[in-house]
Amino acid sequence: MKILVQNYSFDASAKQVTFTDYNPIVIERVLLITNITDNVIIYNFADPLKGGTAATNVLTLTYDTATMSDTDKLQIFYDDVATTQPVSGTVTANLGSTDNAVLDTIDSAIDSMSAKFASGTVIGDVNLGATDNAVLDTIDSVLDTINAKLVSGTDIGDVTINNSTGAAAVNIQDGGNTITVDGTVAVTNSDITSCKTALELLDNSVDGNYLNANMNIAGTDVVGGAGVVAAGVQRTTLASDDPAVTSLAALDNAVDGNYLNVNLNLAGTDCPTGNGTAATSLRVSVASDSTGSLAVTQGTAANLKAQVSVASGGIASGGIASGALASGALASGSIASGALAAGSIAVGAITAGDTSIATTEDTARAAGEHLVKIGASRLDTPVANANVGTDGDYTNLTLDNFGKLWVAGSAIEDAAESAGMSVMLGGAIRRDTCASSSGTSGDVSTINTDSVGALWTDPQGNVAHDAADAGNPIKVGGRASTTPVTAVSANDRVDAFFDVQGRQVVTQKALTGTLSNVNGSASNVTLLAANTARLGATIWNDSTAILYVKLGATASATSCTVKLIADAYYEVPFGYYGIIDGIWASATGVARVTEIS
């Protein structure tokens, strides 16, 4: 049953509510907690942002109540299934047949005793008969049995509680334990039904932290938002002679669409639009010590002139934001001659950086830097000390009549070299075909490169072929090696190789001999497979039969390179490194093969 909890304590800073009458509390039975002092819901079982956790009889809230007070009044609804409920009517419990029989026996015994009392029969020791004592013993035994079942929780069968007169409520007390009722308990209290309906309506109207309410005027729901004049639209009525009515009418007349028409007046005279004389023109005065901004906007086609004096330091560093002057904002001639006085741009006014026109000395360049165009003076003939009077003074660059910068070499022709002297980098002209740029011997000529920037040269000796040796010819070098050269791929460029005495190696010396034996065969067999590393090979026919050897594949008596008789010896010529096959006249003996690499 949903009840309103009255006994509790609230610790706002710890976000905890302690249930005094319930220990432990069941989190599923906590329905709703509202801080009615602040009109804020702080726990709602259906809102994941306003849940909590339970430990013993303390509920720790998810909602932050740190700004609330411990004395704030809370409205707490809790589902208490153990609360005593007044019952009007009949409550029926199902009892077992044995227990019903016991109750029937008690009822019969009591009826018998009641009859004896009514007839004045003497009972008990006052002449009680054996039969009456037996009846009382039976009642005592039955009551002991019922009591034992009630204490142990044993089902005692159907019990009918009848309060037909309705004079008072029938309460079922369980002594703090649990009574289980099988079936349905009908509660006919009309007040409880009305409370339930009212609470359901109130619960439906709660929306988070808000209470939904429909306003009504004379039986008609009020229109939400804007609405035309109608019975359901809220209005505020002012007396017709109220000054506010006149002011609102004047204000309404001043409204023109999205604008408010206002006539400016100076000393009783309307200010003219556009330009005007000093007496009637609108002026703006700025305090001499003002640190704010002055904005002037031209709203008509007429020219707007403003004379603004800014003292030294009047515009602070960063006072004009990046991008404040849009592209083209300063028209040609907008800055008059002399407008920027000496010192008006202070040191550091232009911040150095990759996107600035200024940079700091000895700073690395970066891609996308902003550059400033520079000019120079034309001087067709260079003159010493031109445009500068004293060593160390600033001067300007000078160009010839073609716009080329005058430069001077740092070394004079035919002058002795000095340590640490400066030299000038020189360029060259690309000529894909080697040719001279000068026509006559002794003329000034260019240095030429090919399409890949290689310098054109003409290396040649100073003595012709078949002439007597003289001078210092260009020498051809190579690499000295005492080990065989590693094979390279076909068409690769190679070095010239020499031995350690400087003699060019034409045929390399062999380092390894690999021996193998091939048994005699009357059919073709391979004596040596092809091997590019082979420098030579020998074959000894250790057989009594003739061996036909072929420098190639598939040897026969009619297709062979050499015919080796018994004990004959053969050296493979010309550095051949291909396959070598052989065949014997009869299958006997072996071929002793040595491959040299």
Answer with the residue of higher pLDDT: 28 or 91. 28
**Which tokens is 211 given?**
């209470």
Model pLDDT for residues 7-55, shown as the tens digit of each residue: 999 999 999 999 999 999 999 999 999 999 999 999 999 999 999 999 9
What ranges make up the beta strands (E) of 39-110?
Answer: 40-44, 52-55, 58-61, 74-79, 90-93
pTM of the model: 0.26
Query: Quick one: pLDDT at residue 49?
Result: 92
Please give the radius of gyration of the chain, using alpha carbons only, rounded to the nearest integer: 61
If pLDDT is split at 50, 70 and 90, which confidence band does 566 have?
A: very high
The single-letter DSSP state of residue 14 is T
Q: Is 448:437 a contact under the CB 8 Å cutoff?
A: yes
296-318 per-residue burial string, b: 16 or more CB within 10 A, e: under 16: eeeeeeeeeeeeeeeeeeeeeee
Q: 513-596 in CATH: which number?
A: 2.60.120.770
Closest CA relative to residue 170, chosen from 81, 82, 84, 88: 88
Model pLDDT for residues 439-470, shown as the tens digit of each residue: 788 787 888 899 998 998 877 777 777 888 87
Lowest-pLDDT range of 62-71, 78-87, 199-208: 78-87
Model pLDDT for residues 354-392, shown as the tens digit of each residue: 566 677 777 777 777 767 778 788 888 877 766 677 887
If pLDDT is split at 50, 70 and 90, which confidence band does 301 have?
A: very low
Q: Output the average pLDDT for the chain.
A: 76
Q: Sign of torsion, CA 393 399 400 406?
A: positive
Strands 536-542 and 448-449: unpaired
**Alpha-carbon distances of 449 from 49, 126, 423, 452, 455, rounded to whole Å:** 79, 153, 21, 8, 4
**Alpha-carbon distances of 260 from 186, 252, 263, 497, rounded to whole Å:** 71, 9, 10, 101
User: Per DSSP, what are the bridge partners of residue 538?
Assistant: 571, 594
Mean pLDDT over 501-514 rounds to 81
Query: Quick one: pLDDT at residue 299?
Result: 46
Query: Quick one: pLDDT at residue 425?
Result: 61
Query: Quick one: pLDDT at residue 423?
Result: 62
Query: Rounded to the nearest 10 degrees, what angle do helices 97-119 and 130-152 cross at?
Result: 140
Residue type, 356: S
Question: Tokens 């309103």, residue?
Answer: 4
Question: Tokens 């090919």, residue?
Answer: 450
160 three-class SS: strand
